[in-house]
Structure 1
């Protein structure tokens, strides 16, 4: 079994209890990622690794009825919960799609987004730089790729983040994109 199939299975099996960590966690982290990415009314947003919709729902609310949000995830259970949440919130401007962030550009040929969100998912991927390149290929000129991470990185994680930062460089503040020096946000404290 490959790593992607394994991880999709883990999240699929956890989907029913994923939000039950004892304290609100995913919703505030998702909302902060959307706040940092600052999608505007009418924007098109891709939420790669959307899970149960922690970033997808606030993004759909931010872009309004003239915007569009696509949630992408490998785990069917997570997508089912995200789709239910879309319906519960009455959001006609959001949809979910089963797929792999490393191949997002292949799944959405011809699509371009103002914002691509990667909420706490890069470290689950076997090839994060490939996923960043694929997600970045879906950005419109001047678009923003925003990612969130779980915690202060270890030395090994910092090295990993440096590799991801190289892939994100064309889309960070120097290029008119996300304000963070490596395009990543941390959960609010």
Structure 2
């Protein structure tokens, strides 16, 4: 399908939408050894007690020393809702560009984009050095960055924002409405 055949885009959230239950970060924190601490921080974020930056920095610290290649292996076991591949195919057949608009770490967005064929993905980035995560955030990304990413993607694709939709489940998706 050429870009002239594209009529709109669908911006899909990851955590709580494509990943049911616990977030992809909490899932990965189980391997990294800070699952309970991160789950409590995410609950505090949902309650408005912590902001996205605080949660990201706490989570990033737990990644210190983890090899990049190992994370991709862990992501193969990430629990996902059924029908993602079919939904992406349906979108493409119907002139809709499927895009991940998420606050999930870039290794998660990249993995899902590669696995299912999403056009692109957003999200914060972890700092790496020598193939390992340093425990620091390389780029923060919040709900307003998510909105700005969606707007930029629509512009890049020359799509009218009125013909784009967002699918999500949390307060970080509200600026997309």
Tell me which structure has the larger Cα radius of gyration.
2
TM-score normalised by length of structure 2: 0.39
| Bigger RCO (CA 8 Å, 6+ sep) | 2
